[in-house]
Structure 1
Amino acid sequence: MALKADLIILGCGIFSSTDLQPRSSFSNLNFRRDLKRLGKWDCCCAVLGQRAITPTPVDDEKPLNPSTAAENHSVGIEQNQHPGFHRDLNSLPKPLSASDLSPSRNGGSKVRVAYQGVPGSYSEDAALKAYPNCETVPCDGFEAAFKAVELWLVDRAVIPIENSVAGSIHRNYDLLLRHRLHIVGEVQLDVNHCLMGLPGIRKEDLKRVLSHPQALDQCEKTLSQLGLTRINAADAAGAAQVVASEWQRETGAVASARAAAIYGLNILEEGIQDDEDNITRFMILAREPVIPGIDRPYKTSIVFSLEEGPGVLFKALAAFALRDINLTKIESRPQRKRPLRIVDDSNKGSPKYFDYLFYIDFQASMAAPEAQFALGHLQEFASFLRVLGSYPMDCQIKQ
């Protein structure tokens, strides 16, 4: 039985060897070690080789200025900080950017976890839920968080991948293909949106509210009842920072309870989201994969592409149904105008176009024979296949 696709496994499966070789250089930077090449993975259908993948670059997202009004609204900002404000915002960690990352690391034994945003963001809450005693490192964008892991600045990155109300975060699906990181865990965080303002301010005194667009949309009912003008910001915690540092008495923010505590704001109303079951799922990324087991519930994330034809997707999904493997997510991404450059171990290759990429999560460990057989079966129809990670499901990770 001929197998058409190259199966790209960067972190999962049963390996007959652990051939870990250091990469000589990357952008003139020397690393202590890297997963240059993995051993081959044995399946009943075939011995499936592996290759690395480097897609064409994706432009970095440019964070919005939190004090810039969206939706044609403008707000007068008082530049002088109130003398009674007790927080020294200059003492908070400054976000890393994708352009100023360096390969040096600070010493210390704590797990260092990167996240997108500023202190008090929901991503930082997720990082602390996964690693309660970690040192969190803010980054000014998702790209910077990915690079911080690659350059050994941090040990992990916690990145949002989907929200139960807003849906998937497609930007981060693209970054998964651009960077050679592995999903080693997941965190599900209950979102608790709080309306907050300066000390002594009542919610009736507010005229406008500042937050991330998704947070504002998720609190539409409450904000409409209060008659507040909504203004977009780069992120929710950043909105709280702006209200606190610029002493905007008639402007409130929608953010987490931790953000209110960090920036010295009073919570005027808690749990103002329209949907009580508002959950954001985060993925935990690392340079090296975890070795999957069968001692607890595991989830495996993959991405693949198919040649066009009638019933091809049905046949691909049947590879899991025939083995009673439950699919928890399927996401399709059109890629007709965005080529991926598939490269070998010598980093040589050529761009290749895919009509669609399919991202799938399924409830099985790569250590389980049925998962191995399913991927071997899927490879009969796939023109491209990569395992993004096989990891414990939504568990509290121990340091």
Structure 2
Amino acid sequence: MSGRRAAFQGERGAFTEEALISYFGDSVEVVPLRTLEEVFSAVESGAADYGVVPAENSLAGSVGETYDLLLSHDLRVHGEVVLRVEHHLLSVEGASLDRIREVWSHPQAIDQCRRFLASLGAEVAPMSNTALAAKRLAERRDPSIGVIASRRAAAIYGLSVLASNLEDDESNYTRFFVLSRESRPPTGDDKTSIIFSTRHEPGSLYRCLEPFASRGINLTKIESRPIRSRPWEYNFYLDMEGHGLDPAISAALEELSRRATFVKILGSYPRWR
């Protein structure tokens, strides 16, 4: 991946950057951006070769903004990364756990560490990004403030780890999509993601799913998202095992296109191991 650029939303040390490094290794050039919209636009324009964006968390569910952007941008899902999320309490050198009076972090990280925070008894202040919280603390150098962030953020911003594995549930994983302008050939162990919408009438969703069931295609996810400007109507996001060029999936997608009112193939990509 030498010479390639991969964009992500947030500051250096964010969990998305950790997923990016896990996927590409250290040879890729990392491009931090402010928003998910900027990540999609950077890949679409060619300013970045790839983008890495959060898709869903095993505890908190899907990232709605990512799925909405997949609908509105002409990109392909090039790969996926599944990251075990480990939260740590960080502070400046010389700080101690009993001196922490305030904790900064992203609202989702705060929610995932409720038991620890209750035992700590500190005030909690939400921030837009776990790594941004670490960066701000590194600038402020206040030993009464802690941040919940990754161990990678501690190394980047010169902070100390005061407590580890703070999450209430050990089954805390986040799935990320790797975005590209290019499609992937089959590998033999792939997944395919699509979006479709149905007619607003009885049995329409059943008719759209039947082509997959009749061909023995395993669906690994189905989720609805509201269609903007059409109240109480929905797009359906679907993941399945296999590649879009596999004969059974290709035939099912062709049949779906005749039964649905809209179909968009987001991409076929190797399953994360």
Residue 361 of structure 1 corresponds to 239
Matched residue type, 1:169: V
Residue 128 of structure 1 corresponds to 21
**2:8–2:32 CA contact under 8 A, matched in 1:** yes
Distance 1:153 1:381 in 2: 37
Structure with the largest fraction of strand = 2
For residues 242-261 of structure 1, what are the structure 2 equivalents within 5 Å? 242-261=136-155
2:196 aligned with 1:304:
yes
2:167 aligned with 1:273:
yes
2:177 aligned with 1:283:
yes
2:99 aligned with 1:216:
no
Percent identity, aligned pairs only, is 43
RMSD: 1.5
For residues 1-399 of structure 1, what are the structure 2 equivalents within 5 Å? 109-132=2-25, 133-291=27-185, 293=186, 295-335=187-227, 337=229, 355-394=233-272
Distance 2:249 2:184 in 1: 16
Larger Rg: 1
- With the length of structure 1 as denominator, give the TM-score of the two structures: 0.66
Matched residue type, 1:362: M
Matched residue type, 1:370: A
Q: How far off is 1:386 after superposition?
A: 0.9
Per-residue Cα deviation, 1:278-333 (whole angstroms, up to 9, x for no partner): 11000010112122x2x421100000010011121122112111111111111101
Distance 2:265 2:216 in 1: 19
Distance 2:155 2:236 in 1: 41
Matched residue type, 1:307: R
Distance 2:176 2:132 in 1: 19
Q: How far off is 1:363 after superposition?
A: 0.5
Matched residue type, 2:150: S
**1:195–1:268 CA contact under 8 A, matched in 2:** yes
**2:5–2:31 CA contact under 8 A, matched in 1:** yes
Q: How far off is 1:134 after superposition?
A: 1.1
- With the length of structure 2 as denominator, give the TM-score of the two structures: 0.96
Unaligned runs of 5+ residues in structure 2 are none
Q: Point out 4+ residue stretches in structure 1 off by more than 2 angstroms.
A: none
**Number of residue equivalences:** 272
Per-residue Cα deviation, 1:121-165 (whole angstroms, up to 9, x for no partner): 001001101100211110001011111112222110000010001
Structure with the largest fraction of helix = 2
Q: How far off is 1:336 after superposition?
A: 5.0
Q: How far off is 1:380 after superposition?
A: 2.9
Q: How far off is 1:255 after superposition?
A: 0.3
Distance 2:256 2:44 in 1: 30
SS at match of 2:128: coil
